[in-house]
Amino acid sequence: MNSIRYSLFPLVVCAASATAQAQTTGTITGRVTNSNGGAVEAVSVGLEGQAKGAITDEQGRFRIRQVAPGQYTLVVSSVGLKTEQQTVTVTAGQAATANFMLAESAAELREVTVQGARTNKFNRPNSVDVAKMPLSNLENPQVYATVGKELLTEQLVFSVDDASRNVPGLQKMWEPTGRSGDGGSFYASRGFVVSSQLRNGVAGGVTSTIDAINLEKLEVIKGPSATLYGSALTSFGGLLNRVTKKP
């Protein structure tokens, strides 16, 4: 029995405080209509200079609760309608009523301009190694991706396998086999198997995971244009070319 009393005590206290607050504050109610007498929904109704307000419902009605007694200026505004104001006097324990009729407004909203200045700091606008000549990305017909030293440093890349994760369309298949001539890890590109057997555009086969300590950038050419470097070191799926750091 005592436990029931203790559990009901907080409810009684809350109800008493809510009743006391209702007796010391007032309420503002009303309805917003247009020039044709129809209800206006989603109109902003607020007390000027106060952080209290409401939004009209489907019937154009609004209610602002727990308003301290006093005189207020009620401001009603909506897009496409003229803003109206009305002085309201709030009495403790009572509801003040304020109705509005809003006329259409021909005022146009001010133009909003959104500007973006975000740039990709890892972008490489050109490549000398991919086409074997200094061409920009727009001039180069080959499909390729470059993982530069800035991105390698940002991601704390330790191997070519880690760097290859930044190349879209390149999926690692299996780890290095350790056999001579295999070229490290194997990847899938354009439906063919490729491996990193090029270093600075010439043969540079490895038999284990390639450390990125001496890697300046990783360039991946996709598609049969990779045979520009020789069919013995590439495939129709593409190639991985490791560009090393210059002393």
**Torsions phi, psi of 129, nearest 5?**
-80, -35
Q: Cα separation of 125 and 119, whole Å?
A: 12
- Kindly report, as residue ranges, where domains of CATH 2.60.40.10 are found in the chain: 2-102
> What is the CATH class of 2-102?
mainly beta
Of 98, 70, 67, which Cα lies nearest the Cα of 85?
98
3-state SS assignment for residue 14? helix
> What is the CATH class of 126-244?
mainly beta
Q: What is the pLDDT along the chain (247 residues), one digit of tens a residue?
A: 445 454 544 544 444 454 545 578 999 999 999 988 899 999 999 999 998 999 999 999 999 999 999 999 999 998 888 899 999 999 998 999 999 999 888 766 678 888 876 777 777 777 777 777 777 777 877 888 888 888 888 888 888 888 888 888 888 888 877 776 665 788 888 888 888 878 887 877 776 777 888 888 888 888 887 877 776 777 888 888 888 888 7
Q: Cα separation of 73 and 199, whole Å?
A: 77
- Kindly report, as residue ranges, where domains of CATH 2.170.130.10 are found in the chain: 126-244
Angstrom CA distances, 198 to 57, 158, 206, stand at 69, 18, 9
Q: Cα separation of 193 and 170, whole Å?
A: 10
Report yes or no: 167 and 147 within 8 Å, Cβ to Cβ. yes
62-105-49-64 Cα dihedral, nearest 10 degrees = 0
pTM of the model: 0.47
